Structure 1
Amino acid sequence: MSVLFINYPKCSTCINARKWLEEHNIEFISRHIVEDNPKKDELKKYVALSGLPVKKFFNTSGVLYREMKLKDRLATATEDEMFDILSSNGMLVKRPLVITEKGVLIGFKKDKWEEFFK
């Protein structure tokens, strides 16, 4: 299984997720979410593969999210507008993201990851 690990190297959650992948001998390709932010078309694929609404892909605890007052903006934004916003800056995307042909993981929850990689 091909695994793409999209992360922010300074993020403690991403560090723990990376460690978990390595401890479980899961090979992955690492991608820096700020230096190589997911593009709009990629995000659309990830959202479709995840089966989740696009709003779940926002890093709602991030400083930039609050500075941009996105909670209010997203309430009336179209899905296309949400993809435009998400693809504008990697810091707006919830992380880490794990992308495989089997599905998408958002954030790091050990029990969900263990079930996903069984």
Structure 2
Amino acid sequence: MQNILFSVAGNKSCTEVSKWLTNHDIPFIERRISTASPLKSKELFNLLSISQNGFEDIIKRNITHIKINEKDVSIEDLTTNELVSIIINNPAIFKTPILTTSDKILTGFKINELEDFFAKNKNDSNA
């Protein structure tokens, strides 16, 4: 199982998740997202494959429309490939932090959710 933390520089929640993982001796790889190091389509499709709510889990909550060719377009009217391309080209709409295992995803920073997330993984590996 590989834990990946998708983060952005200067985000307090991302820093807190990183600290929490380190303090609890949970190994992880940090994937810093930026315009210089954008997400790859393979990464996004992997996230979508383990998310329960699709794009709703990985796009910031307040994003409902996006400008395309100077027109406001609802993200609900876009295809999966169009949305993936938009996220790659506009990393600011990507929700962070996102923490993943091989088959689970957790967004945001809430200590109780992190504890539950890893308790379930520990229980799954002991079964």
CA distance in structure 2 between the aligned counterparts of 1:23 and 1:87, rounded to whole angstroms: 31
- 1:92 and 2:86 equivalent? no
- 1:20 and 2:20 equivalent? yes
Name the structure where strand makes up a greater proportion of residues.
2
Aligned partner of residue 74 in structure 2, secondary structure: helix
Partner deviation per Cα, 1:22-62 (whole Å, 9 max, x = no partner)? 1211111112111422212220111111222213311245x
* Unaligned stretches of 5+ residues in structure 2: 120-127
Bigger Cα Rg: 2
The equivalent residue for 2:52 is: 51
Is the CA contact 2:59–2:94 (under 8 Å) kept in the aligned structure 1?
Answer: yes
Aligned partner of residue 105 in structure 1, secondary structure: strand
- Report how far residue 67 of structure 1 moved: 9.5
CA distance in structure 2 between the aligned counterparts of 1:66 and 1:82, rounded to whole angstroms: 12
Aligned partner of residue 108 in structure 1, secondary structure: coil
The equivalent residue for 1:107 is: 108
Partner deviation per Cα, 1:52-90 (whole Å, 9 max, x = no partner)? 2213311245xxx59945985313222222111112132
Amino acid at match of 2:28: F
CA distance in structure 1 between the aligned counterparts of 2:95 and 2:115, rounded to whole angstroms: 20
Is the CA contact 2:65–2:73 (under 8 Å) kept in the aligned structure 1?
Answer: no
Decide which moves more: 34-43 or 14-23: 34-43
Amino acid at match of 1:96: P
CA distance in structure 2 between the aligned counterparts of 1:30 and 1:114, rounded to whole angstroms: 19
Is the CA contact 1:5–1:31 (under 8 Å) kept in the aligned structure 2?
Answer: yes
Percent identity of equivalent pairs: 26
**TM-score where L is the length of structure 2:** 0.76
CA distance in structure 1 between the aligned counterparts of 2:18 and 2:104, rounded to whole angstroms: 18
CA RMSD of aligned residues (A): 2.4
Is the CA contact 2:66–2:75 (under 8 Å) kept in the aligned structure 1?
Answer: no
The equivalent residue for 2:37 is: 36
Is the CA contact 2:3–2:101 (under 8 Å) kept in the aligned structure 1?
Answer: yes
Aligned partner of residue 87 in structure 1, secondary structure: helix
User: Where do 4+ consecutive residues of structure 1 move more than 2 Å?
Assistant: 65-73
Aligned pair count?
Answer: 115
